[in-house]
A and B are shown apart, each in its own frame.
Chain A
């Protein structure tokens, strides 16, 4: 703010600045935004709460803790976690290589990283199944050493690694680009080895972005459906993911049950968003200190 030099203005409460609205259209755009948001997102989502509430607490609890539902949580969470961890390492490394090592075709590689965002999940699903099926390019080769990927939880893992790949790259890349190399040079001139510099200087700076990307990839993996159903085999208790279970319940006209399981997933999504927001707030506070 350039007005700090004027005495009197400095002490004006922030509310004074807030109330001075020169631009028109706040009421209109804000009203439209809230109306559209409510109609398209919030009211439909609230139906999950109301429909589940119709069950009553004990029935709701019984539905979301059915053995088959719990088994689907376990598969969904464990495989999503494993895939997000792979994305953390592979994505962090990809961001590092893309920012720090100029190589011919870098721009092309950079663009192709977004492929999982742009490729429809059903297409990814059938493509990965074709590759990893026992007679596919990669599947046949893996079958020789006794590894079965398609139609097992390992297949879910492959699909979720694909889906989550861009998240870590795209959160870490901008931070890495803005990272001042002078700190690394200072560490080196103080006698740190390259590895020490990376572990003690670079990684701590990247840690919040790495974690944010990890959580985003994890959140996406938990809800993912299209790319998984083709390759998973969908065996109850073994390779059945929670989103698929919701569809199964809907097909059996068990609307309340589907709503209850959907609500449990929504609560998890909310918690993850909250975690990211808290992290970003903490990061901003730390940065301003």
Chain B
């Protein structure tokens, strides 16, 4: 948006005032109807029977075990995908090789696979009638309807988040700074730690927080592999479903409100990172402009930045 600061509205480049108000009203109305109302109803329904019932629903042993399980699954899946994302971004962004585009598409693949299919494939591999089913049974290892299955399904659906935040950014940054560091005698790991990581830390934060939101909120994939054993293999979203289907609406919305809060925190962090980046970008553009204020108009500077 830095380009718009020199923009002077006129009939030639913007719509009549009435049209602008109409479109703005339409969009805000639509967003209020489709985004704000669903968000609001979660908290209203959760508190319908008062704070007492709300808190009681959250300290219920089954709810509590669902919360712990959700945190545990995310605590395993998110770090694994974080490491994978960084490693994959390094290979893809810092080197040239054949088939790069295919690899990027494959990394993005879990985003376009239905969550139900994501759960299904692990049942086919590890389920009682799956590839390793009889072997696992013989060795008394439970994957499906147990924690490992939940973790695997969660890893699958959250697989691309960190990588796809990092890859475009690291590609844009190139390898010049890393090469300089290596030339000056830094080791590869040291270069990564002190040069690459500081350059991508905000994108990394965005990737991790989005990955975490999805990991804690995933429903379809974990629903297939969980088996819905109360107090054992129920994550928070699955617990919400059980309560809802038992017509315990207030309790269902109480647990759901925790997940909604998580979503709001996620959005806030994401917005904060974007705001920071925008300011840094604007500052860079201003610096570039003041350096060669001769002939380059703002758009030229933007393209160069």
Q: Verify that A and B bind, or say they do not.
A: yes
B271 to chain A, nearest CB (A): 4
1/0 contact string of A189-228 vs chain B (CB within 8 Å): 1000010000000000000000000000001101111100
Give the A interface residue count (CB, 8 A). 97
1/0 contact string of A155-190 vs chain B (CB within 8 Å): 000000110010000000000011011101100110
Complex CA gap A264/B27 in Å reads 36
B52 to chain A, nearest CB (A): 21
Instruction: Note all chain A residues with C-beta closer than 8 A to B124.
Output: 44, 47-48, 51, 255, 259
Q: Is the CB of B155 within 8 A of A126?
A: no
Q: Is the CB of A273 within 8 A of B36?
A: no
Question: Is the interface on chain B under 10, 10 to 19, 20 to 34, or 35 or more residues?
Answer: 35 or more
A82 adjacent to chain B (CB < 8 Å): no
Which B residues between 9 and 61 are near A, CB-CB below 8 angstroms?
11-16, 20, 23-24, 26-28, 30-31, 33-39, 41-42, 45
Binds A, one of B91-99, B134-142, B285-293: B91-99
B41 to chain A, nearest CB (A): 5
Residues of B contacting A: mostly: helix
Binds B, one of A3-11, A26-34, A58-66, A144-152: A26-34
A101 adjacent to chain B (CB < 8 Å): yes
Instruction: Note all chain B residues with C-beta closer than 8 A to A101.
Output: 20, 23-24
B30 to chain A, nearest CB (A): 5
B207 adjacent to chain A (CB < 8 Å): no
Which A residues between 33 and 81 are near B, CB-CB below 8 angstroms?
33, 36-37, 40-45, 47-48, 51
A99 adjacent to chain B (CB < 8 Å): yes
Of A30, A182, A185, A255, the contact of B127 (CB 8 Å cutoff): A255
Q: Is the CB of B270 within 8 A of A111?
A: yes
11 CB-based A-B contacts, threshold 8 Å: A23-B175, A37-B106, A112-B31, A120-B218, A122-B256, A180-B299, A223-B113, A246-B120, A259-B120, A259-B124, A277-B105
Interface residues in chain B, defined as those with a beta carbon under 8 Å from any beta carbon in chain A: 1, 3-4, 7, 11-16, 20, 23-24, 26-28, 30-31, 33-39, 41-42, 45, 84, 87-88, 90-92, 94-97, 101, 103, 105-110, 112-117, 120-125, 127, 129-131, 152, 155-156, 159, 175, 178-179, 182, 188, 191-192, 210, 213, 216-220, 223-224, 236-238, 240-241, 244, 249, 252-253, 256, 259-260, 262-264, 266-268, 270-271, 275, 299, 302
Interface residues in chain A, defined as those with a beta carbon under 8 Å from any beta carbon in chain B: 17-18, 21-26, 29-30, 32-33, 36-37, 40-45, 47-48, 51, 90, 93-94, 96-103, 107, 109-124, 126-128, 130-131, 136-138, 161-162, 165, 177-178, 180-182, 184-185, 188-189, 194, 219-220, 222-226, 230, 242-244, 246-247, 250, 253, 255, 258-259, 262, 265-266, 269, 272-273, 277
